Amino acid sequence: MRTIIEPFKIKSVEPINFNTKEERVELLKEAYFNPFLLRSDDVLIDLLTDSGTSAMSSNQWAGIMRGDESYAGSPSFFRFKAAVQDITGLPDVIPTHQGRASEKILFSIMGGKGKYFVANTLFDTTRANIEFSGAEGVDLICEEGKHPSIPAPFKGNMDVVALKKFIVEKGAENIPLVIITITNNSGGGQPVSMENIRAVRKVCSEYCIPLFIDACRFAENSWFIKMREAGYANVPVKEIAREIFSYSDGCTMSAKKDAFANIGGFLAMRDPELALKCRNLLVITEGFPTYGGLAGRDLEAIAIGLEEVLEESYLQYRIRSIEYLTDKLIDAGVPVMQPAGGHAVYLDAKAFLPHIPLDQYPGQALVGALYIEGGVRGVEIGSLMFGKYDEAHQLIPAQLELVRLAIPRRVYTQSHIDYVAEVIIEVFNNRNDITGLKIIEESPLLRHFTAKLAPIS
C-alpha cells in the first residue's frame, strides 16, 4: 500500500515561532502551568483543540467573498440551510455562533430542576449548560469505553441496558432528551456504531423520549462506520451520515469541527413547536433566525465545509493521520487510548505517570512536560477538567486521566506529526523526572480553562 498523502496543496502558510526549552520553562511558569493561559505565538505545534482551527479551502474562501450580509433572508442562509438539510434531513435549521450557543438555547427550553439528560458521554460545555439549567447530565457509556488500553471498534457506544434501567428508575417524564455524542469526544474520540444508534432510537421510541445527536464530528463517525461496521463498506459516507440523522429528532452542531469553519454552529430539529421556542430565544441571544449568531460569509463557509468533509479521500487521510501518530506511540510503548480516535490522540496519564497521585493532576503535569520538551500544546481531560470535591475538600477524581492531542483539520503535515511523536517519546523516556501539581486558584465552573497551578516541590 502506498503512503496516504494529504489530499490538498498549500497555498497560504503561517509561520511557526521557534523558542528554546529554557524559554518554555519560563513561559509555562508565567502561565501558571496551565497551557490555556499561554500565548499561542509561544506554541510550536498547537494540539489544544481541533475546534475552529481548521484550514479553510480555497472554495470556502471564495464563499466568504460571496457571503451576503442582509439582515433578513440572505441567500447565504438558504445555501446553509440546504446543506444542513441535505445531510440531516431535519426540517428546521437554526444558525448559532457555535455549539454551546445551540446547547444553551436547547437546554434553557428543555432543562430545569428534576430533569435528567442521558448521553453516552456529554461534552463539558454540554454538561455545563445542562447543569446551569438546574438539570442533571448522566453518562451511560458502554463497558468497553471505560478501558483506555483495550481496543474495541465502537467504544463510544451507549450502554443500552443501563439506559433502559435508568429510564425505568427515574421515569420517562423526567428525561426530556437522550443525547448521543458522535464521535464521543470526552471518551477518546471513539465512534458510535449504527447498530447502537438504532438500539438507542428503539428505546427512545418505546418511552417517547426524543433523541438528539451532538453532531460535531458526524463525518468522522460516519467514516468509522464505513470502515468497521458490517454492511457499510460499500455505502457512500454521505448516505451513512444521512442514516444516522434519520434516527434522530434533532441535533446540536459545532461547525468549528466537521464543517471546517473557524466559527459557527446550528440547531436542527423535527418538532416545529420546539423550533419556534428555540427561535424565540435565538432572537434575544444570537440574532435574527436567518443569521443567528453568524455573518452571511460564515454561513457560506459552513455550507461548503459540510460538503467537503464528506469527501472520502479527505476522511481516509484524516483518520489515518490520527492512527499514524497513535501507532508510533504504541510501538514506543507509550500508553495511549486504543484504538485511535477520530480527531485526537489520547495519552493515558495514569499509566504514563504512575508515580504522580491523582490529586496532583498527572494529566496536567504531562501537558506541561510536553510543552516544555517540544512546544507541543495539548489539553488535560481528567481530574482538573472533571474532578469534584467531597465534603472534606478531598478530590473525587475523574474516571480517566487523559491528555488529548487534538489534530486541527488540514493544518499540519506528516513531518509535524513525526515531530510530535518524537517529543512524546522523549518525555516518556524521562517520565520519572516529572512531578505533580497543586491548584492555587480556580473557578467553580469549567475550572480547567483558567485554573492556576504550581508544582509540588
| Residue ranges that bind ligand F0G, judged by CB under 6 A | 49, 51, 98-100, 123, 125-126, 181, 185, 214, 216, 254, 256, 265
Contacts of 336 (CB under 8 A, 6+ apart): 148, 149, 326, 329, 330, 345, 346, 347, 348
Give whichever of 189 and 335 is closer to ligand F0G, judged by the CB atom. Answer: 189
Closest CA to 28 of 147, 351, 78, 19: 19
Spatial distance between the Cα atoms of 456 and 327, rounded to a whole number of angstroms: 33
CB 57 within 8 A of CB 64: no
CB of 206 to ligand F0G, least distance (A): 26
Could you tell me the smallest distance in angstroms from the CB atom of residue 171 to ligand F0G? Answer: 27
Amino acid at 354: P
What distance in Å separates the CA atoms of residue 301 and residue 318, rounded to the nearest whole number?
20
**Residue among 128, 154, 123 at smallest CA distance from 227:** 154
Q: How far is the CB of 257 from ligand F0G (least distance, A)?
A: 6
In this complex, which beta carbon is closest to ligand F0G, that of residue 200 or of residue 434? Answer: 200
Q: What is the 3-state secondary structure (H, E, C) of 215-252?
A: CCCHHHHHHHHHHHCCCCCCCCHHHHHHHHHHCCCEEE
Minimum gap (Å) between residue 52 Cβ and ligand F0G = 7
CA 345 to chain centre: 12
> Is 94 exposed, middle or buried, given 0-12, 13-18 or 19+ CB atoms closer than 10 A?
buried
Query: Least distance from C-beta 186 to ligand F0G, angstroms?
Result: 7
Residue closer to ligand F0G (CB basis): 360 or 364: 364
Coil, strand or helix at 298: helix
The residue at minimum Cβ distance from ligand F0G is 99
The C-alpha cell 479527505 sits at: 314
Least distance in Å: CB of 129 to ligand F0G?
9
Cα 316 vs. chain centroid, distance in angstroms? 19
Q: Which is nearer to ligand F0G, 183 or 321 (CB)?
A: 183
Query: To the nearest whole angstrom, how small is the minimum distance from the Cβ of residue 355 to ligand F0G?
Result: 29
Question: Minimum CB separation from ligand F0G for residue 253, in Å?
Answer: 8
DSSP secondary structure letters along 60-100: HHHHHHH----SSS-HHHHHHHHHHHHHH--SEEEEESSHH
Nearest to 377 by CA among 14, 7, 19: 19
Give the residue with the Cβ less far from ligand F0G, 356 or 405. Answer: 405
Q: What is the closest distance, in whole angstroms, from the C-beta atom of residue 173 to ligand F0G in the complex? A: 26
Taking the complex as a whole, the smallest distance from the CB of residue 256 to ligand F0G amounts, in Å, to 5
For residue 26, what are the contacts with CB-CB under 8 A and spacing of at least 6?
none
Comparing C-alpha atoms, which of 138, 98, 145, 99 is closest to residue 115?
Answer: 138
